[in-house]
């Protein structure tokens, strides 16, 4: 069985991965490729930097996958404090994760559309 100290370290590392992948995909991919008020230029940037866009999608996917165990570990540590509020927070985090998962389909759409 994993000790609470090691579990906390795992949660901390997972949370750092979530932060790093989220920042990479948002700052270095989406904001770098997006041209405000110009969808055609944005589409061109995505086409010319397809690999970067794919790396951003992979980072979002890692963020999504690593985020779930992180939330569950945090739930484990705080379940004795205020169970009702923690369950509400857990439900909101799970709903957020589901919304992010559906949004990943929107993010992969330009690659599928431009290939045709």
User: Per residue in 73-105, pLDDT tens?
Assistant: 988 888 888 888 888 988 998 898 889 888 888
Alpha helices by DSSP H, the chain: 4-23, 31-33, 39-48, 50-78, 83-115
For residue 69, pLDDT over 80 is answered with yes
Phi-psi region of 37 (alpha: psi -120 to 50; beta: other; left: phi over 0): left
Collapsing DSSP to helix, strand or coil, 104 comes out as helix
Angle ∠(26,30,31) on CA atoms, nearest 5: 85
Range of the domain at 94: 4-115
pLDDT at 54: 94
What DSSP state is assigned to residue 25? I
pLDDT at 74: 87
What is the tally of structural domains in the chain? 1
Question: Can you give the pTM of this predicted structure?
Answer: 0.83
- Among 17-21, 47-51, 53-57, 94-98, the range scoring the smallest mean pLDDT is 94-98
């Amino acid at each position: 069985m994993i000790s609470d100290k090691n579990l906390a370290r795992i949660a901390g590392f997972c949370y750092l991965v979530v932060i790093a992948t989220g920042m990479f995909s948002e700052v270095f991919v989406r904001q770098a490729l997006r041209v405000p008020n110009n969808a055609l230029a944005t589409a061109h940037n995505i086409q010319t930097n397809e690999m970067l866009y794919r790396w951003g999608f992979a980072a979002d996917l890692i963020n999504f996958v690593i985020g779930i165990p992180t939330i569950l570990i945090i739930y484990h540590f705080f379940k004795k404090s205020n169970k009702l509020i923690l369950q509400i927070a857990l439900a909101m985090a799970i709903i957020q994760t589901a919304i992010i998962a559906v949004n990943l389909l929107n993010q992969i759409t330009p690659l599928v559309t431009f290939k045709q």
